[in-house]
Amino acid sequence: MMNRLNNESWRDWYSSLAKPEWTPNASTISAIWTLLYPIIFVTYAYVFAKVIKKKYPKHVAVPFFLNLIFNFAFTPIFFGLKNIPFATIDILAVWVTIVWSAVAIWRYSKWTAILQIPYLVWVSITSILQIWIAIYN
């Protein structure tokens, strides 16, 4: 509805933004998320299952849960609302909750913590990109 009102698609809007030369193209971004989402799904499902079975304390699942909320909120905030400052805060919250998740799970499952590294690397890159976009737009 919002796109119809301003007659500008999210693709047109995103294309119009100032971005650094190193900005990944859409197919690269899509490929990276295609690789990351199965890792996220498996590790997060593992953590939630262990918490539900009372093998891990509930507090271990908190950063994983918050990360999912922040991760899924980014697209509607950035591309739907076109709210660059709020999207920047959100992506930083995604980054913080990945680090928090790895720290929280380390004691219980080192492999789960280690599998957060590719996600952290990618979100670090996208956070820098988002901050750049926020500064120059």
Question: Would you say residue 63 lies in a domain?
Answer: yes
For position 8, what pLDDT does the model report?
A: 64
| pLDDT tens figures, 106-123 | 999 999 999 999 999 999
| pLDDT tens figures, 1-10 | 444 445 469 8
Domain that holds residue 90: 25-136
pTM, to two decimals: 0.92
Which DSSP string corresponds to 21-78?
TTPPPHHHHHHHHHHHHHHHHHHHHHHHHHHHTTSS-GGGHHHHHHHHHHHHHHHIII
Specify the number of domains making up the chain.
1
Question: Would you say residue 130 lies in a domain?
Answer: yes
Question: Would you say residue 4 lies in a domain?
Answer: no
Mean pLDDT of 32-61: 98
Question: Would you say residue 14 lies in a domain?
Answer: no
Question: Would you say residue 70 lies in a domain?
Answer: yes
Question: Would you say residue 83 lies in a domain?
Answer: yes
| pLDDT tens figures, 59-109 | 999 999 999 999 999 999 999 999 999 999 999 999 999 999 999 999 999
Question: Would you say residue 11 lies in a domain?
Answer: no
